[in-house]
Structure 1
Amino acid sequence: MPVPEFILQLRRGVGHDPLFLTGVTAVVVRHDEAGTPEVLYGRRADNGLWALPSGIVEPGEQPGSTVVREVLEELRVEAEAERLALVTTDPPITYPNGDVCQFVSLTFRCRYLGGEAAVGDDESLEVAWRRADDPPTDLDALQRRRLAVALTDDSACVFDR
């Protein structure tokens, strides 16, 4: 997974010390011919697991723009961020090279606008639409929570206290 240039610059100064970053996740929803909701997933190149599209907010970028950019770059689908569904602080992650990050994670419910889902960069191995009620079995607990909250009709953002 390519590391954004601004993080490489930060790492030159802080080494492997923890970075607190803002991440975004998209729950992109479309409806099939029968009106059944479907959600877009990508199989990650780094661990081989299915996941919702996600990325890091870069300096000067708005989170709603980031989530749309990431979906297009990774999975070649045009989407529109409809609402902020969930805000969490995820547990720290230690990467194989020793870098430590913790993300404030913003999950957006997004509406499909167009495009043929396809692998868009080296971060994904494959792409699939799946029925909203049939997510991939290898989604972790954080991903499952993001999905469940974003698929509700509640317009209020959920956040932990």
Structure 2
Amino acid sequence: MATPDFIREIRATAGHQLLWMPGVSAIVLDDEGRVLLGRRADSGRWSIIGGIPDPGEQPAACAVREVLEETAVHCVPERLLLVQALEPVTYPNGDRCQFMDICFLCHAESNECRVNDDESLEVGWFELDALPPLEEFALHRIKLATEDAPTWFEGMGEA
């Protein structure tokens, strides 16, 4: 994920201290029930699509923007899947942050996808029984989206 300019400005005065950050992720399904994934340029791993909202940007609008920017897929948010504080991360440059992830189920308006920025090496649609290796973060969100589960809140019981 590329660092937004507003974060660079904050880091200029905050240094490497832990920043509490909003994050948005999207489980995008097409009409065939396949899930849209991207292989990240920073890690080389497959993952769901996500990013950081711009100041003043609504989370659902951010999900739509991130999906379009990374995959060229137009999508429509359908419902909130999850709200979860993630574990703090430390980046190679020493910056530390903790994300509050807001995950949406989105429906693709078309299934033509392509790498649309420098954050992804590949993008593609995957059948649920043929997913590439994914972190538990992504698998949990895909499960919530495909089981029509209620919105899941960390610390409020298991889904």
**Normalising TM by the smaller chain, what interval?**
over 0.9
Instruction: For 1:159, give the aligned amino acid.
Output: F
TM-fit CA distance, 1:31: 2.5
* 1:45-101 deviation line (CA, Å, top 9, x unaligned): 001000000000111100000000000000110001100101110001111111001
TM-score of the superposed pair, with normalisation by structure 2: 0.93
Give the aligned residue type for 1:59.
P
Mapped partners of 2:11, 2:79: distance in 1? 32
What number of residue pairs does the alignment pair up?
155
- Matched with 1:16 is 16
What does residue 154 of structure 2 align with?
160
C-alpha RMSD of the superposition: 1.1
The structure carrying a bigger strand percent of its residues is: 1
Aligned-pair identity (%): 45
Contact in 1 for aligned 2:16/2:94 (Cα 8 Å) = yes
Deviates more, 1:113-122 or 1:69-78: 113-122
Q: 1:5 to 1:71 in 2, by over 3 A?
A: same
Contact persistence 1:76–1:115 (CA under 8 A): no
AA partner of residue 53 (structure 1) = I
SS of corresponding position for 1:31: coil
| Structure 2: runs of 5 or more not aligned | none
Q: Show the counterpart of 1:150.
A: 145
Partner of 1:101: 97
Q: Which of the numbers 42, 56, 60 marks the counterpart of 1:60?
A: 56
**Which segments of 5 or more consecutive residues in structure 1 lack a partner in the other structure?**
none
Instruction: Decide whether the 8 Å contact of 1:107 with 1:150 is kept in 2.
Output: no
**Following TM superposition, where does structure 1 have runs of at least 4 consecutive aligned residues deviating by more than 4 angstroms?**
none
Letter in 1 for 2:59: P
Q: Which amino acid aligns with 2:43?
A: N
Give the aligned residue type for 1:11. Answer: R
TM-score, normalised to structure 1's length?
0.92
